Amino acid sequence: MTASTRAPSRAALALALALAGGGAARAELVVLTDGAVLKVERFAARGERATLVFPGGGELELALERVERVVDDEIDPEAARPGAASAAPAQAFPIGFADGAPRPETPWSEAIFAAARRHGLNPALIAAVARVESAFDPRAVSSKGARGLMQLMPATGRRFGLRPHELFDPVKNLDAGTRYLAWLADRFEGDLARVLAGYHAGEGAVDRYGGVPPYRETRAYLRSVYARLGLSEGDSSAR
């Protein structure tokens, strides 16, 4: 059997990493569920399969469920310089659920509120992420294979007990996305910037950089969510 009909072996992944050594004007980082990070020239998701095209011309096809994240490998030079702002909002934001919290005035308001209360998060945060991720479209599918209201990859859905087709169920998608945000909030001790960066780029990237990665795409994502929450960037953490 070829790599296109079964999951690649570790040897195949090692070959892929070697092929990825060449430079490219634009690249993407593909994070696999086993922790491997592949630099590719192009990533394409089709159904339950994904094709990775490397700068040197090689290709690798694998199950989409093996892909945890795909992030543009474009560093913001300003964010990467020593002493750069942390990308955390200056104002304190209550990340946890509080008694008397209002229901968001958005589509799927009841499901958002129920998931937020169930997992102990501020409903406004869940609504802001859903708006930025999918504009509240439960059938949304990104070019990278993320699906539904909270734009979950199949690997993330599986992590929280969902099969790929269940990602299009808005209630289940919201619940899984909220559970993931709650897990990140616990892991990063309520630091909103790191929670959102983990949701977008993966907690491994946050660990590697010791905070918000300097990826231009991730930092733009944080700014978009902050704007929905009425926050601005600063240099102090949210709580």
Q: Domain of 28: which CATH number?
A: 2.30.30.100
Q: What is the chain's percent helix, strand, coil content, to nearest 5?
A: 40, 15, 40
Same domain, 185 and 220: yes
- Residue by residue, DSSP assigns 206-219 as HHHHTSS--BHHHH
CA distance 77 to 153: 28
4 lies in some domain = no
26-37 pLDDT, tens per residue? Answer: 699 999 999 999
Q: How many structural domains compose the chain?
A: 2
Residue 239's pLDDT is: 38
Report the pLDDT value the prediction gives residue 238, as an integer from 0 to 100: 40
pLDDT score of 206:
96
Helix (H) or strand (E) holding 176: helix 170-187
pTM for this entry = 0.84
Residues 92 and 29 reside in one and the same domain = no
Query: What is the CATH classification number for the domain harbouring 83?
Result: 1.10.530.10
Closest among 222, 231, 191, 220 to 207, alpha carbons compared: 191
Eight-state DSSP code of residue 147: B
Residues 129 and 45 in one domain: no
Please report where in the chains the tokens 């980082």 appear, as a residue. Answer: 29
Are 98 and 135 in a shared domain? yes
Same domain, 159 and 83: yes
What pLDDT does 139 receive? 98
Q: Which helix (H) or strand (E) holds 218?
A: helix 216-229
Q: In sequence order, what are the residues at sequence separation of 6 or more whose Cβ sits closer than 8 angstroms to the Cβ of residue 31?
A: 37, 67, 68, 69, 70, 71, 202, 204, 205
Parent domain of 29: 10-72
127 and 162 belong to one structural domain: yes
Extract the residue ranges of the chain whose pLDDT is less than 70.
1-26, 79-91, 233-239
- Of the residues 41, 133, 166, 203, only one is catalytic, namely 133
Q: Label each residue of 110-154 as H, E or C.
A: HHHHHHHHHHCECHHHHHHHHHHHHCCCCCCECCCCCECCCCECH
Length of the chain: 239
Distances (CA, A) of 29 to 33, 172, 201: 13, 28, 10
Amino acid at 19: L
**Same-domain check for residues 61 and 92:** no
Does residue 105 carry a catalytic annotation?
no
Structure token pair of residue 7: 């999951």
DSSP code for 106: S
Helices (H) and strands (E) in the chain, counts: 9, 8
